[in-house]
Structure 1
Amino acid sequence: MPQSPSSSSRPAAAAAGRIRIVLVEDHDMVAEAIRMALDRTAHLEVVGRSASLAAALADVTRLRPDVVLLDRRLPDGDGIDAIAGLRAAAPDCRVLVLAGEGSASDATRVAAAGGAGLILKADNLGELRDAVRRVAAGEVAFSKGLLGAVLDRLTGRTPERGATLTPRERETLALLGEGLGSAEISRRLGVALNTTRNHIQRVLEKLGARSQLEAVTTARREGLLR
């Protein structure tokens, strides 16, 4: 596993014993579920829970945790934007972002800010626990499909266009290539219309396209569609 540029001697020491975690999550039920899952795991302990970025900064300064598990969306801002400030308050802590959804650009922003990883809420709790252990040990932890984008950034390599499309986004792109509209794609995929629109928007962003037609044209040129 690649080492994060922000790793230090403290995480390695933390990995050998108890890993102290500050959880930053504004939804009570989600926070409680995560807390229970972590506290029931050997060597993991949630020592504080914050519901906002302002509270998180105060808690991290006071508690000096090994890992900050930081929600991406909070009432007073974007968690990624807060990474630098949290690490300035406690330089030895490792920040692991937890997001409802994440893109390659989100992952590279986390890495650029000094974060140790980005895990999706759709991942299972076992993956979350493993990610906490890895970042505490000085490693990085990104959900499947996101680590490659971070490595591309760190090495200066330009990824192939469309390389970061998820399987569902590729399905959506294929249906766009068939000339289907959002409503028909929703029916074919068995998902809500708003979900389909989100998939389409992410496909456009990842292909650098301004319209669905441009996305299909680009995909055909790049060999993503036949």
Structure 2
Amino acid sequence: MSTPLEPSPPRLVRVVLVEDHDMVAEAIGLALAQTAHIQVVARAGSIASALADAGRLKPDVVLLDRRLPDGDGISAIGPLMVAAEGVRVLLLTGEATALVATRVAEAGGAGLVLKSGRLQDLESAVHQVADGGMVFPPSLLTGVLDRLTGRKGFSGSKLTARERETLLLLAEGASTEQISERLGVARNTARNHIQHVLDKLGARSKLEAVAIARTEGMVD
């Protein structure tokens, strides 16, 4: 009579943590360091650093903050997957909406977790995506499926990447001149980007555009 095989232990999951707030990064890093079978191999504070670390270390999972000094984390999902073939990207966010979750899925991300969640949930999510799974809050799944299948559209889908950047800067309260400087474009070009954002969102002012964007989860 053969002896039943014992289940193999979970494999070690190598993680690059991308978070620009030192205290938050330290807390998450320490928490994950205490969990079994997860190793944080690098911490990055920007998209540029994350791309360099991912390309160099080839981690299993990148735990990626949404708001970073050099851009929206969601826009970095594709480049990270190119930098480290086979890597799974898990977005770390303070607030999740169906639109945010849809953008993550469309970009090729493996899911998202809330910063306010429990450590056990984060640990479970990391292992799930490392094993090829997807992790989205159950409350958002219906909205994600509706948007992905075209049953419900959203204004943000009309914006170009540069217009999304412009919208994020508007949400931060940046002026036209500041947007021009931050994007590295002429003032008239910045004005055009702003006007395109307003037109596509159906807004009559910058404040209204930001209000619409917040309602749809395009900005925090």
TM-score (norm 1): 0.62
Q: What residue in structure 1 maps to residue 161 of structure 2?
A: none
Counterpart residue type for residue 72 of structure 2: D
Secondary structure in 2 matching 1:38: helix
Residue 61 (structure 2) pairs with residue 67 (structure 1):
yes
Secondary structure in 1 matching 2:142: helix
Secondary structure in 2 matching 1:122: coil
Q: Which runs of 5+ in 1 are unaligned?
A: 1-14, 160-200, 207-226
1:211-226 matches, cutoff 5 A = none
- Aligned equivalents of 2:39 and 2:104: distance in 1? 24
Alignment equivalent of 1:100, drawn from 85, 90, 94: 94
Q: CA deviation at 1:26?
A: 0.6
- Aligned equivalents of 1:204 and 1:121: distance in 2? 19
Alignment equivalent of 1:205, drawn from 194, 198, 215: 215
Q: CA deviation at 1:19?
A: 0.2
What is the alpha-carbon root mean square deviation over aligned residues?
Answer: 2.1
Q: What residue in structure 2 maps to residue 122 of structure 1?
A: 116
Alignment equivalent of 2:83, drawn from 65, 79, 89: 89
Higher relative contact order (CA 8 A, sep 6+): 1
1:24-173 matches, cutoff 5 A = 24-158=18-152
Distance 1:121 1:89, change over 3 A: same
- Aligned equivalents of 1:61 and 1:79: distance in 2? 17
Give CA deviations for 1:175-206 in whole Å, capped at 9, x if unaligned: xxxxxxxxxxxxxxxxxxxxxxxxxx589835
Structure 1 residue ranges, 4+ long, deviating more than 6 angstroms after superposition: none
Q: Which runs of 5+ in 2 are unaligned?
A: 1-8, 154-210
- Aligned equivalents of 2:118 and 2:10: distance in 1? 24
Q: CA deviation at 1:154?
A: 4.2
Secondary structure in 1 matching 2:40: strand
Secondary structure in 2 matching 1:83: helix
Counterpart residue type for residue 34 of structure 1: I
Counterpart residue type for residue 112 of structure 1: E
Q: Which moved more, 1:139-148 or 1:107-116?
A: 139-148
Q: Percent identity?
A: 59
Q: CA deviation at 1:157?
A: 4.4
Give CA deviations for 1:78-119 in whole Å, capped at 9, x if unaligned: 000010000011121000000111211111000000000011
- Aligned equivalents of 1:83 and 1:22: distance in 2? 13
Q: CA deviation at 1:149?
A: 2.3
Q: CA deviation at 1:127?
A: 1.0
Distance 1:203 1:58, change over 3 A: closer
Q: Figure out how many residues of one structure are paired with residues of the other and give that number.
A: 151
Counterpart residue type for residue 205 of structure 1: T
Counterpart residue type for residue 113 of structure 1: A
Secondary structure in 1 matching 2:117: coil
Q: CA deviation at 1:151?
A: 2.9
- Aligned equivalents of 1:104 and 1:117: distance in 2? 12
